[in-house]
Structure 1
Amino acid sequence: MIDNQIFLSLLRNRGLTNKADIEAFLTPSFEKFKHDPYLLPDMKPAVERIALAQKRHENVVIYGDYDIDGLTATSILLDAFKSFGLRVSAFIPNRFVEGYGLNLEAIEKLASEGAQLIVTVDCGSLSHKEVERANELGVDVIVTDHHSVGETMPPAIATINPKRTDHTYPFIDLAGCGVAFKLVQALQGRLPGLPQGQEKWLLDLVALGTVCDVVSLKDENRANVYWGLKVLANTRRPGLKALMAVAGVEPERINARTLGFVLGPRMNAAGRLETAQYSLDMLTSTDNMQALGLAQKLEEMNLARRAEQDRIFRAACQQAEQYAQHPVLVLSDPSWSHGIVGIVAAKILERYKKPTFVLQEMGEQTKGSARSFGDYSAVKAIRASDEHILKGGGHTLAAGVTMETTKVDDFRRSVNNFYSESISSSQLHHLDPPTDAEIEALSHANEELVEALELLQPYGHGNGEPVFCCRNVTVINVQRMGNDKQHLKIRFSDKQGQQLSAIMFNCHEEDPEVGQQVDVWIELGINEWRGSRSVEGRLRKLTAA
């Protein structure tokens, strides 16, 4: 047991007070958190229908999604279904053609090509019309999903979704890839081909999808990601090996941040610019040279995505100034690709500290994404604007919406009215970093503490990187960094003369003055440069002392 007092204080503040709970969290047991998959709704009929498809040698199609969760879930089922002896292929919708979720034309195309069973991943819970059409064409559908559900389920053979209320599964925050993995676990007891224990080789995909979909890293998700990172460090997949090599990632040093900020964006770039099929082909490739070529293509596409994202962000900032009095920003332009606007919405929210919709005007229709925070639900705001939209859905903090272009102004008024009616107090405190523990002397921010913090990995939603408050420190140096001087590096000193440097990325606040007494909130890490190591902070917040 670590005896660092700041670390132990942090654990207590996170509700971990006894030895058993601490050990269970720091080293989560895969078996302990491997809940019975048959507690999920409709798991039994799903398993039986898939077993029948295997017996009849039917054509099974995995209907995926173009984000990382959908791509990894598709890869999981492709890998496992082949092991179970199924005839299986995959269909990934194009963001710019079919859009998100089941699509009528795609269903009809798959049926005409001989599909007899469609298994969705990361979509389908609200696709009543599309499932009905599949049934009319003689194609059975099994839905696996984790998004919000309606009052009734689609007329599928099964709808496996932990967000349903008619089940006793103990953890509802699985990602789409997590739900797909539960289906695999259930099938292991019904079909030969994937012996117990061998499913753990799928955890590299589960970890990647779970982290990138920003679901809570608690309970089963934490165990899957914890062990999935270890599998990923030794992955058998040529595609993931190639992607790590191209991105300059050392497998033995991979962590959740690597997935969310290095590998994930490269895979997402394909679907944002052209087609996510490139990413699926990379994930499922068995040829090293083919995998390397695909990984290099994703690298190039990610560079193009970043350049386009920067252009849209600059234009969106200019437009945001026109609506400075609005509590909710609704920004739109014909030249902003709806494959990229979701990222831009997140950056606009960070910059202006307001819920944000960023939309692309596409002729008669306009389509885009929302990002929110605090008590303002993006998906509820969309539903409250139902008369102005064609379709929309998602989650509290992230959502998508489509409307007629002539309705953009009406929609802007509606979501702002919804804010006025539903929010009665400032939401800015929701953006403040938490205080996991106080550091009274900067000498305590040492390598021993940083090494102890590594035990809390993987970090993510529900288990954020620890933030420490250091009070009454003195600013002794201020430096602007980056091509546009957008980053701020500050060096502090405490009353004992101990010093610490910290960087705030994309800082739009005024620089503090040298000699000023401040309180700072920081995350801690190790900076390695030319063979030397030092503790350095990532500055999250700074206020006058």
Structure 2
Amino acid sequence: MTTIRIRRLSAAPILARTPDELIVRLYAHRGIYDPATATLDLEALIPPDALHGLESAVEHLVEQIRRGGHLLVVGDYDADGATGSALAVRGLRALGAERVSFLVPSRFTNGYGLSPQIIDVALDQRADLLLTVDNGTSSHAAIAYANDLGLPVVVTDHHLVSGCLPEAAAIVNPNQPSCAFPSKHLAGVGVVFYLLAALRRRLRALGWFGAGRPEPNLADLLDLVAVGTIADVVMLDRNNRILVEHGLRRIRAGRCRPGILALFELSGRDHTRTTAADLAFYIAPRLNAAGRLSDMSLGLECLLTDDPDKARALAQRLDALNRERKALEAEMRAQAEVLVKALRFDDETLPPALCLFGEDWHQGIAGIIAGRIRDRYHRPTIAFASGGDGRLRGSGRSIEALHLRDALAWVDQRSPGLIERFGGHAMAAGLTLHMDQLDTFRLAFAEAVRLQFGDTPPMPELLSDGVLPPELLTLETAEALRLAGPWGKGFPEPCFDGAFEVLDRGIMGESHLRLRVMLPNGQPVEAVGFRLGEHLERAQGRVHLVYRLEANRYQETTRLRLLIDHLAVEGVH
């Protein structure tokens, strides 16, 4: 079992008597000391002007919109790509574009991003301009091909740039070298939102809107931005928190896409109480299931329809795919555990990085398996599946100590041609290589990781805000914390630690730990540790928990519940 260090965000005890005082203290733990910077008003959004390439992209779109040109949106096949594509299609139509359609590449036949094959399809559909969403920054061959054929490509993306940029008509990406936009953490859907805002401003200046063509309120589409931003696990800096918060407000009020409401209904969640965590754990997986197992066009249609009945039918298909995904994941994860067991005697003798391959593994589930193994063994992990063409498609997940895309770039520089294609972020990346090269890559990747932290990664840490005063272990506090978000990457949900007496224990579902523990005031409360069922035998007597507070609503009743992130025998972490 991997040893975990609990690190408190402050050495000082939590001196708070009310939930409001607690939130002030928690914000300070996250670097917010000025109440003015804690507000999440839309007016505080960073203006779009510093986004490099934005003006050129707007001019190309204005030209096509005014002449009635056909705009083809090409998005990625994940939830960020789907929400970004839905936002682009809805936003462009709302701004007066008469001919807007979309195309989603298949994970299985096209691979990630823009390809020459997609350009051929665009030409068959008589597109006049191609707009990418969440991809395109690395699509040199496809964009060069489009240029030769006279098809302009406007790229919107947020992925890190490797080498030179393609010669697109315009590139809007906050992470391109020449971009001075202060926030580098926009998701793909966030970049599209900024493009639409700048496009509306330009059309307004041209007198485009009037009695017959009303100017749209783009904020009405922020539910899509919230889902995509949370689904892509980007850093929740203040700018992203503003976008997400206003999207959440629209979902809670029921002023969102019928498809999103239908997905809430099928997941058994109350949309009026939704949080960023609900988007991450209930909505995003159902959208992503389409791109993982089938065709993300299904998810995109669910987000585009305004017909509640059609939305419900599409959401039911997405829910069925998600159940199928869970079954495949369970099977693949069991196989992955066997592969890891063959590599080790104990945690300390594992390689510094794990490369796992299953002959029958599903490409769309590989990234999930990499994440599960990474979480369990605290090693950068890449799970490979066969592409059916003699090549392997790998999906990797990293730990905080390693920038995964940079590690792949190091391998590519040291062994040119070993990796056929790669891309991604610090914590997640994908690659393609020939099946015969797996062993060579495994050694090279392990060496790249070893250069960062040696043979053993740094001990994983759990961050805690400290010991919660007993008088604040209440449902009122849980409700206040729910509304004080949005919480997520870079702005973590408040987490506390402390000792509790276990009154009862058991397993919920197949792998979830369910306890009843005693609060300091003598009252019992339910505590749940998702995927922590293996700790059942240790969960007795007095235990030390790292936990979050939840206002758990069940059958019209709301009760306090503890969500366990870590359990240890008291005094042993």
Q: TM-score, normalised by structure 2?
A: 0.88
Match of 1:436 among 465, 471, 479: 465
Cα 1:98–1:531 change in 2 (3 A) is closer
Deviations 1:242-291 (A, max 9, x none): 32333333221222112111111111111111111111111111333322
Match of 1:333 in 2: 358
Partner of 1:399: 429
The residue aligned with 2:6 is none
Q: Which residue matches 2:149? A: 137
Q: Is the 8 A contact 1:479 1:488 kept in 2?
A: yes
1:512 aligns with 2:523: no
Q: CA deviation at 1:529?
A: 5.0
Q: Within 2, Cα distance between the matches of 1:176 and 1:456?
A: 25
Structure 1 partner of 2:3 = none
Distance 1:361 1:342 in 2: 13
- Aligned partners of 1:478 and 1:512 also within 8 Å: no
Q: Which amino acid aligns with 2:166?
A: P
Question: Residue by residue, what CA displacement relative to the aligned partner does 1:449-483 show, whole Å, maximum 9, x if unpaired?
Answer: 2222123221211222100121xx35333523134
Report deviation, 1:406. 0.7
- Among 240, 253, 263, which residue is 2:260 paired with? 240
Alignment equivalent of 2:441, drawn from 389, 397, 411 = 411
Of 122-131 and 288-297, deviating more is 288-297
1:61–1:91 contact (8 Å) kept in structure 2? yes
Q: 1:533 to 1:277 in 2, by over 3 A?
A: closer
Structure 2 CA distance for partners of 1:138 and 1:202, relative to 1, 3 Å: same
The structure, 1 or 2, with the larger RCO (C-alpha pairs under 8 Å, 6+ apart) is 2
1:151/1:287 CA distance change after superposition, 3 Å = same
Residue 243 of structure 2 corresponds to residue 224 of structure 1: yes
1:379 pairs with one of 391, 398, 405: 405
Per the alignment, residue 277 of structure 2 pairs with 257
Structure 2 unaligned runs (5+)? Answer: 1-15, 345-349
Query: Structure 1: which amino acid aligns with 2:286?
Result: R
Partner of 2:61: 50
1:422 aligns with 2:452: yes
Distance 1:176 1:118 in 2: 16
Which residue of the partner structure matches residue 298 of structure 2? 278
Query: How many residues end up aligned between the 2 structures?
Result: 534
In 2, the alpha carbon distance for the partners of 1:215 and 1:221 equals 9
The equivalent of 1:346 in structure 2 is 371
SS of aligned partner of 1:184: helix
* CA distance in 2 between partners of 1:426 and 1:295 (Å): 44
| Deviations, residues 15-46 of structure 1 (Å, cap 9, x unaligned) | 23343334x2xxx010111x221210011111
Equivalent AA in structure 2 for residue 176 of structure 1:
G
Give the corresponding residue for 2:332.
Answer: 312
Is the alpha carbon distance of 1:57 and 1:497 closer, same or farther for their aligned partners in structure 2, counting shifts above 3 Å? Answer: closer
Point out the more displaced range, 284-293 or 300-309: 284-293
Q: 1:212 to 1:84 in 2, by over 3 A?
A: same
Distance 1:128 1:154 in 2: 5
SS at match of 1:16: coil
Give the root-mean-square deviation of aligned CA atoms: 2.2
Counterpart of 2:187? 175
The alpha carbon displacement at 1:152 in A equals 2.1
Equivalent residue runs for 1:144-163 within 5 Å? 144-163=156-175
CA displacement 1:121-141 (0-9 Å, x = unmatched): 100011111111000011011
1:15 is the counterpart of 2:31: yes
Unaligned residue ranges in structure 1 (runs of 5+)? none
Amino acid at match of 2:479: E
More moved, 530-539 vs 207-216: 530-539
* Structure 1 CA distance for aligned equivalents of residues 379 and 504 of structure 2: 28
Structure 1 residue identity aligned to 2:258: P
Offset of residue 509 of structure 1:
4.1
Q: Secondary structure in 2 aligned to 1:399?
A: strand
Alignment partner, residue 460 of structure 1: 488
Partner SS for 2:490: coil
Runs of 4+ in 1 over 6 A off after TM superposition: none
User: How far is the alpha carbon of 1:292 from its aligned partner?
Assistant: 2.0
Query: Larger deviation: 124-133 or 285-294?
Result: 285-294
Output one character per residue of 1:182-210: Cα deviation in whole Å (capped at 9) or x when no partner: 00000111223586661111101111111
1:341-376 residue CA offsets vs partner (Å, 9 max, x unmatched): 111111111222221111112341111200111212
Distance 2:278 2:399 in 1: 24
CA distance in 1, matches of 2:552, 2:309: 34
Give the direction of change, closer, same or farther, for the CA distance of 1:483–1:379 in structure 2 (3 Å limit): same
* Cα distance in 1 between the residues matched to 2:401 and 2:227: 28
Query: Secondary structure at the residue paired with 1:133?
Result: helix
Matched, 1:118 2:130: yes
| Whole-angstrom distance in 2 between the partners of 1:425 and 1:206 | 40
- Which segment is superposed worse, 1-10 or 344-353? 1-10
* Distance change (3 Å), C-alpha of 1:299 and 1:476: closer
Q: Tell me, yes or no, if the aligned pair for 1:78 and 1:89 is still in contact at 8 Å.
A: yes
- Would the alpha carbon gap of residues 478 and 459 (structure 1) be closer, same or farther in structure 2, given more than 3 Å must change? same
* Match among 488, 491, 514 for residue 513 of structure 2: 488
For 1:354, give the aligned amino acid: R
Does the 8 A contact of 1:334 with 1:362 survive in 2?
no
Can you list the C-alpha shifts for 1:421-448, whole angstroms capped at 9, x where unaligned? 221485454x42211232253x431123
Which stretch of structure 1 is more off in the superposition, 125-134 or 194-203? 194-203
| 1:57-80 superposed Cα distances (whole Å, 9 cap, x missing partner) | 222111111111111111111112
Residue 3 of structure 1 and its aligned partner are, at CA, apart by 4.2
Aligned match of 1:267: 287
What is the match of residue 81 of structure 1?
A: 92
Measured in 1, the distance between the counterparts of 2:71 and 2:463 equals 47
Q: Are the aligned partners of 1:478 and 1:488 in contact in 2 as well (CA < 8 Å)?
A: no
Does the Cα contact within 8 Å between 1:235 and 1:241 map onto a contact in 2?
no
Change in 2 beyond 3 A, CA 1:110/1:78:
same
Aligned with 2:440: secondary structure?
helix
Q: CA deviation at 1:332?
A: 0.5
CA contact (8 A) 2:129 2:153 kept: yes
In the superposition, relative to structure 1, how do residues 43 and 499 fare at CA in structure 2: closer, same or farther (>3 Å)?
A: same
Deviation, structure 1 residue 317? 0.9
CA distance in 2, matches of 1:144, 1:309: 32
- Contact between 2:352 and 2:454, CA under 8 Å: does it hold in 1? no
> Alpha-carbon deviation of 1:498?
5.5
The letter of the residue matching 1:455 is: L
- Whole-Å Cα distance in 2 between the matches of residues 533 and 106 of structure 1? 50
The one-letter amino acid paired with 2:407 is: A
Shift of 1:168: 2.5
SS at match of 2:463: coil
Distance 1:421 1:510, change over 3 A: farther
SS of residue matched to 1:374: coil
Contact 2:508 2:514 in 1 (8 A): no
Counterpart-to-counterpart distance in 1, 2:132 and 2:557: 50
> What displacement does 1:493 show?
4.3
Secondary structure in 2 matching 1:346: helix
SS of 2:363's equivalent in the other structure is: coil
Aligned mates of 1:236, 1:538 — CA distance in 2? 29
Identity across matched positions, percent: 32
Aligned partner of 1:93 in structure 2 is 105
| TM-score with structure 1 setting the length | 0.92
> Quick one: structure 1 residues 12 and 121, their matched pair in 2 at CA, closer, same or farther if it must change by over 3 Å?
same
1:206 to 225, 228, 236: 225
